[in-house]
């Protein structure tokens, strides 16, 4: 995708991030002017338009909207992610991710890269960030049998006897160290629902 342009997938990922109330609150606060914003729209150029009413045409007609640059949007999401994290993850997000976001959004205009990075950190690094609000990413996100290492999916073949297990390494949010995940079957058992008996 061209620099300074958002792909359709990145727009969908922005909706995924904005489904989290704390992230949405940070983004709306970045609009400033101490106003309450009811809706947002995403432009191809990365601008996020915050609207005071639920109706875009009224927002445009009466100029009840505030354009947020992509750099402002990405910075607000980063700020929310720092709030979600703790310990070494918080330090890594403050130093590593913060610098990456500035370079990739302001200097390089690589908006799709920045969105993918923010979503990765939200889902895998931040405390409680693995939630899937409103079913977003169900089609493209990891499942019980597939995860992604970088951009390469890794299929996990798990036998019920628990003998198959796989170790997966992937970069942490600073890109300097690797997180190691040992994946396998811990327990398989049967539960009977007695309420239907």
Q: What is the phi/psi pair of residue 192, to 5°? A: -105, 125
Confidence of residue 131 (pLDDT cuts 50, 70, 90): very low
Q: What does the mean pLDDT of the chain come to?
A: 74
Give mean pLDDT, residues 158-175: 51
Burial class (CB in 10 A: 0-12, 13-18, 19+), 141: middle
* 75 — pLDDT class (breaks 50, 70, 90): very high
Do 42 and 11 form a contact (C-beta atoms < 8 A)?
A: yes
Residue in 186, 157, 152, 144 with CA at minimum distance from that of residue 169 = 152
pLDDT band at 86 (very low <50, low <70, confident <90, very high): confident
Which is it for strands 165-171 and 152-155: parallel, antiparallel or unpaired? unpaired
Tell me the C-alpha to C-alpha distance, in Å, between residue 46 and each of 12, 39, 112, 165.
12, 16, 9, 41
pLDDT of residue 196: 57
Domain positions in the chain: 8-135, 142-197
**pLDDT exceeds cutoff 60 at 151:** no
User: Do 39 and 65 contact (CB within 8 A), yes or no?
Assistant: no
* Mean pLDDT along residues 172-178: 54
Residue 44: pLDDT over 90: yes
Given a contact cutoff of 8 angstroms between Cβ atoms, the answer to whether 32 and 139 are in contact is no
pTM: 0.64
**In terms of pLDDT, which residue wins out, 13 or 86?**
13
């Amino acid at each position: 995708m061209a620099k300074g342009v958002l792909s359709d997938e990145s727009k969908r990922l922005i909706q995924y991030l904005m489904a989290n109330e704390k992230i949405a609150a940070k983004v709306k606060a970045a609009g400033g002017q101490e106003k309450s914003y009811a809706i947002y729209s995403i432009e191809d150029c990365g601008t996020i338009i915050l609207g005071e009413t639920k109706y875009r045409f009224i927002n445009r007609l009466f100029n009840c909207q505030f354009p947020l640059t992509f750099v402002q949007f990405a910075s607000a999401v980063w700020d929310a992610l720092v709030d979600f994290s703790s310990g070494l993850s918080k330090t890594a997000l403050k130093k590593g991710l913060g610098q990456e976001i500035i370079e990739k959004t302001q200097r390089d205009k690589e908006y799709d890269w920045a969105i993918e990075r923010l979503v990765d950190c939200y889902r895998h690094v931040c405390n409680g960030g693995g939630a899937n609000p409103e079913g977003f990413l169900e089609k493209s996100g990891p499942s019980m049998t597939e995860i992604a290492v970088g951009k390469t999916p890794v299929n996990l073949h798990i036998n019920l006897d628990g003998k198959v297990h796989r170790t997966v390494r992937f970069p942490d949010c600073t890109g300097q160290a690797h997180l190691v995940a040992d994946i396998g079957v811990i327990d398989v058992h049967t539960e009977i629902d007695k309420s239907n008996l």
